[in-house]
Structure 1
Amino acid sequence: MSTEPDLETEVDDRDLRALLARVPSCVVAVTARVDDRPVVMVVSSFVGISLAPALVGFCAQATSTTWPLIKRADSIGLSVLAEQHKNDVRTMAARTGDRLAGMETFAVADGTPFISGATAWLQTDLLSETLLGDHAFAVLSVRGLRVGAKGALVFHEGTFKGCARLVAHPAG
């Protein structure tokens, strides 16, 4: 029987960040039409919650200035980004400037914007929001869904990459 190391009793932010970097996470553009213009933010905490009813969720930084705008919209769009978007993610996540500059987008009948070429698109309604530490956890009900043919973009070890490019992290 092997002996595992003792767990630290105090959690160091750097250790937790290093751990989370090793776990690939899906990259999603969260969009809405606010004051007659498209608004976008990027999250890497997308999660499926329930199949019946169809519920998904994500975390937004509590200090975000974009999330308060998006959450007041009648409809929230989620575009699960594809590998082709890896050079655009930082622009979409920027604190200033036109986050959708150079991005192809489309809107559904009610005006909810989405990112073209994504892996999947979900039209959602905000069901609940809970402040948890330094993030808000949003639960959304899915009212429309389309799955595309492209592989998802993930954030892994500090970089954006396609699912096909994931490699096991060397032990050590």
Structure 2
Amino acid sequence: MNMLSNISDDAELRRLFGRFPTGVTTLCAMVDGQPVGMTASAFVAVSLKPQLVSVCIKRGSGTWRQLRAQKRLGISFLSHGHSGVARQLAQKTGDRFLGLDYETTPDGALFLANATAWLECSVEQEIPAGDHDIVLFRLHRATAADNVMPLVFHSSDFHTLAPIHHSSAT
């Protein structure tokens, strides 16, 4: 191991944080009859009782300003085929939902098709944390898809996982 040193610039810190692989989620809802959504990779399961999850969101996000007041939001865990979807929902301009398949609930949560899991949530609390906010969500309903591999973000790019098959000794 090299000697530890102080991190002096944002680019180096971003590279360092990028060495930790994370799943990729979307936060989406219908806002005034239009789909609104964003990607987020800082998802954490927080509590079983009560059922809580969290996502870190950059402070000042215009998309989050639209989503935060909604009664319900959909969190979709993206799957191995969603790298283009993740990029599309992260873009700053244009129709983020062009060509995307999704479903909505009567309360306005929006879920992307072919994800590995879907969570219907409401905002419980926002906690300031540096240049981001930790948003705590209360889980209301959820389901998961079996045998669908996740999309993973690592070293500033998207990857997929493959199961490790262990051979049995004979």
The two structures share one fold, judged by TM-score above 0.5: yes
User: Alpha carbons of 1:10 and 1:81: their partners in 2 closer, same or farther (altered >3 Å)?
Assistant: closer
Counterpart of 2:129 (choices 128, 132, 135) is 132
Counterpart of 1:160 (choices 158, 163, 168) is 158
5+ residue gaps in structure 1?
166-172
Aligned-pair CA distance for 1:110: 2.4
1:85-111 per-residue CA deviation (whole Å, 9 max, x = no partner) reads 112211111111110111100112323
Aligned-pair CA distance for 1:20: 1.1
Separation of aligned partners in 1, 2:99 and 2:106: 22
Q: Determine the structure 2 residue equivalent to 1:47.
A: 44
Question: What does 1:5-154 align with in structure 2 at a 5 Å threshold?
Answer: 6-9=3-6, 11-149=8-146, 150-154=148-152
Give the total of aligned pairs. 163
Separation of aligned partners in 1, 2:101 and 2:130: 35
- RMSD, aligned α-carbons: 1.8
Q: TM-score, normalised by structure 2?
A: 0.89
Separation of aligned partners in 2, 1:10 and 1:160: 25
Separation of aligned partners in 2, 1:66 and 1:22: 26
**Which amino acid in 2 is paired with 1:44?**
S
5+ residue gaps in structure 2?
164-170
1:71-127 per-residue CA deviation (whole Å, 9 max, x = no partner) reads 000001100000111122111111111101111001123232110100000000100
Displaced runs of 4 or more, over 4 A? none
Separation of aligned partners in 2, 1:70 and 1:89: 17
Aligned-pair CA distance for 1:14: 2.8
Asked whether the equivalents of residues 71 and 108 of structure 2 are also in contact (C-alpha less than 8 Å), the reply is no
**Which amino acid in 1 is paired with 2:39?**
V
Separation of aligned partners in 2, 1:135 and 1:151: 29
1:40-68 per-residue CA deviation (whole Å, 9 max, x = no partner) reads 01101011111111110011111211001
* Percent of pairs with identical residues: 35
